[in-house]
Amino acid sequence: MEIRCRKGDCKFNTGCSCGAGIIEVDRGHMCGTYCKDMLKESLIIQNGNLFEVSEELVAKHLKNVGLGCKARNCLFNREAMCYANGISVIGDEGDACCATYIER
């Protein structure tokens, strides 16, 4: 499963891919695994923004991880687990939400 992350200030974000061992999406399809890294946040403030690197330049982080999901009305949720082929986490101002969420 490919897990893409656009939260540049998350401590698990490496090259726009999630490096967390277990990922939990809560009822409001917010990423419960998101953890702000103050050092990365200060780099964003100093440089104005982070940029996304082309996928050809970053090794894909395909993982077999537990992906718990509490968003009961999501199309990909089966028995509190995510069965999507991959997910993307997006957000701004401290929020991190699952962009793969599709309401059934």
pTM: 0.65
Buried b vs exposed e over 47-83: b needs ≥16 C-beta within 10 Å? eeeeeeeeeeeeeebebebebbbebeebebbeeeebe
**Would 103 be classed as within a structural domain?**
no
- Rounded Cα distance between 48 and 15, Å, is 18
Work out how many domains the chain is built from and give that number.
1
Task: State residue 58's pLDDT score.
Answer: 47
Q: What is the DSSP letter of 85?
A: S
Domain containing 71 equals 2-98
**Per-residue pLDDT tens digits for 43-97:** 554 544 554 444 554 445 555 677 899 999 999 999 999 999 888 998 876 788 9
Give the position of tokens 């993307």.
88
**Would 40 be classed as within a structural domain?**
yes
**Would 79 be classed as within a structural domain?**
yes
**Would 10 be classed as within a structural domain?**
yes
**Would 56 be classed as within a structural domain?**
yes
| 22 C-beta neighbours (distance < 10 Å), count | 10
Q: Tokens for 86?
A: 């991959």
